[in-house]
Amino acid sequence: MDVFTLSLWALRIGFVLLIYAFFVVVARALWRDLRAGVAGAGRPLARLLVVGSPEGRPQAGTSIALDAVNSLGRDVNNSIVLDDSFVSADHALLTFRGRAWYVEDRGSTNGTWLNGQRVEGMAPLGYGDEVQIGQVRMRLERARPE
């Protein structure tokens, strides 16, 4: 058995083993995600506080926990259902992108309003800003009071 044959086989087996090395690196990443996920589980990114809702669905004073992407509208498939007569079925999208929140109108009839101004396309918003959808007024707040 000569050196060349042995090294050729080392290369061949090394090639396959390196694919498994890829799995090991992936598994390590997953394991870290898992631990981070457990540590941060259940903590919402922010809250929407309902400050005004004449029809009472949802009631004023309700605090809604937010995910990274939240769809708002009257349809039951939305992550936040606003059962107000002036809200469209799929009304708006509230997303957290990196370090800022954005609100996006989804072609609603009555529009999405940010601090009293109608939102065209996508608009950034900060904590304390007020979003109005139909007759429902909501304020973006931090998840934990600081």
Are the C-beta atoms of 103 and 117 separated by less than 8 Å? no
Provide the mask over 98-137, with x wherever binding to other proteins is found by CB under 8 A and - wherever it is not.
xxx-x-x-xx------------xx--x-------------
Judged by CB, which is closer to other proteins: 38, or 145? Answer: 38
Judged by CB under 8 A, which of 54, 56, 128, 143 binds other proteins?
Answer: 56
How far is CA 76 from its chain centroid? 18
In the chain, helix, strand, coil percent, each to 5?
25, 35, 40
**CA dihedral of 130, 109, 74, 78, whole degrees rounded to 10:** -80
Are the C-beta atoms of 126 and 101 separated by less than 8 Å? yes
Verify binding: residue 41, other proteins, rule CB under 8 A: yes
Residues numbered 16-35 forming contacts with other proteins, rule: CB under 8 A: 16, 18-23, 25-27, 29-30, 33-34
Judged by CB under 8 A, which of 46, 52, 68, 131 binds other proteins?
Answer: 68
Q: How many CA atoms lie within 13 A of 47 on its CB side?
A: 14
State whether residue 114 is helix, strand or coil. Answer: strand
Judged by CB under 8 A, which of 51, 54, 64, 113 binds other proteins?
Answer: 64
| Residue 62 burial by Cβ neighbours in a 10 Å radius (0-12, 13-18, 19+) | middle
Verify binding: residue 77, other proteins, rule CB under 8 A: yes
| Binding region for other proteins (CB under 8 A) | 1-2, 4-9, 11-16, 18-23, 25-27, 29-30, 33-34, 37-38, 41-42, 50, 56-59, 62, 64-65, 67-71, 75-81, 83, 95-100, 102, 104, 106-107, 120-121, 124
